[in-house]
Chains A and B, each alone.
Chain A
């Protein structure tokens, strides 16, 4: 099975570690992926706030590029790791297929750019691909250091599971938890798996955004988590990088490591830490690294 890979803008910047670790894991699991050529920004949440049809169209451009690049393939599957990109691409596919007027406008505009959209693309989340295409058993077999005794809180965030995702339950998702179990760690059952971290509000309206991330960190810690894993670059950024601000504002001393699930996978699969972008983390996941051989990370 050949996949196309859509990184999205965040994965080239603040979310670099996500791309690095995910691609390293893909390579180790021999997943055949190719980056979409000359992909553009999906529009995330901001583009839709300014112009609806434009937003759908620029997202559709990526789908059209995918169709062009994999024209000869039987199935066109695009892996979009960033939660926002994933949601935007699936939403675009759905709305274009359901609304003939919108589709007509978009197809017309895409033709001006020399592209065509027929609606053949299937948008997949990396968790979906790992659990359903590769399979839990294969992942369990691929691990070399079972993460014994590590309690992991899986944080799915909003747009991985809401509102269009088809591969997991919207209110009580399990894929990341199952992945964590397959790596030998212990998934923590906590109630805020899918509660919003605040998104861009932590930066723009900190008074509203910071408490949201704070609540998540406290609850994860309260349920005994040693580390939080996420599937969204903005969630990871909010939960990890704002811990200093949160500690200051709420008079706390939270030092909870927050990683990408692919980084956790990579550690268990004995992929060199530099390849997983571990040096980009703000909070050292000491306990996790102690269970892994040669756990001397390079840190900020």
Chain B
């Protein structure tokens, strides 16, 4: 059983001859997961999904995802929390809203993806060097502090967090941008940073109300 058949012709998604046991028991599911994710504005529509697959069909990057958007909705509904939050899907989503527009049940799929992104970050489900969540969190921190995002310092920060060597690969692009005046290392800030901080603190103070 530990002998894998030698062959170079294994298709992606197949087991290549090795044995993998796939079964899901009820006690491994998170029965509250669906409710938590559906707790966003207009989130109840998610329960009406008929699994038609239009979202996956129209998503321009669904063929790169490990679980297509349709599968994600099915898995969220049933409580496959770990699989969903550790998938690459949520980080591949570019928020193009094609799925939301085409869905015949008017499910706000992009918003579900955002909710999953938030859960994944909050639960620490993403590998630290994965660029997309690193971009999101760095962006968040920068805007929280300064009130504006500054693309130059942001990109540097993200590269440092994920893959410093990539910076060399993008050096030419960076130089061209700088020469055309489209890149600066200046940190943009708003004037009323105090008021901005008060705004964000004010939100923390307000009791957690379901955003319906």
Contact = CB atoms under 8 A, between A and B. Distances in A.
A–B contact, 8 Å CB criterion (strictly below): yes
A219 B170 CA distance: 26
B143 A38 contact: no
Interface string A48-80: 111111100110010000000000000000000
Contact of B196 (A40, A45, A111, A212): A40
B41, B92, B152, B209 interface centre (most CB from chain A within 10 Å) = B41
B201 A112 contact: yes
A45 B95 contact: yes
Interface stretch (A24-32, A96-104, A261-269): A96-104
Interface string B109-134: 01000110110010000000001110
B9 interface: no
A109 B203 contact: yes
Nearest to A207: B64
A110 B97 CA distance: 28
A158 interface: yes
Contacts of B61: 196, 201, 208, 212
Interface stretch (A9-17, A141-149, A288-296): A9-17
A251 interface: no
Nearest to B65: A208
B94 A200 contact: yes
Contact of B41 (A38, A41, A47, A99): A99
B159 to A, nearest CB: 9
B190 A162 contact: no
B78 to A, nearest CB: 23
B203 A113 contact: no
A209 B132 CA distance: 12
B42 to A, nearest CB: 8
Given A41-B143, A98-B41, A113 B132 contact: no
B176 interface: yes
Contact of A40 (B60, B117, B147): B147
A195 B115 CA distance: 23
A251 B94 CA distance: 26
B203 A159 contact: no
Interface string A223-243: 000000000000000000110
23 contacts: A14-B182, A49-B118, A50-B140, A53-B211, A57-B199, A58-B200, A61-B199, A95-B41, A106-B203, A113-B195, A113-B196, A162-B100, A162-B101, A199-B95, A200-B132, A203-B131, A204-B158, A207-B64, A241-B177, A279-B181, A280-B180, A281-B180, A300-B176
Given A13-B188, A49-B114, 7 more contacts: A13-B183, A14-B182, A45-B94, A53-B203, A98-B42, A102-B211, A199-B95
Interface of A: 9-10, 12-17, 38-41, 43-54, 57-58, 61, 87, 95, 98-99, 101-102, 104-106, 108-115, 158-159, 162-163, 170-171, 195-196, 198-201, 203-205, 207-209, 212, 241-242, 244-245, 279-282, 300
Interface of B: 40-42, 60-61, 64, 91-92, 94-98, 100-101, 110, 114-115, 117-118, 121, 131-133, 135-137, 139-140, 143-144, 147-152, 155, 158, 172-173, 176-177, 179-184, 188, 190-192, 195-196, 198-203, 206, 209-212
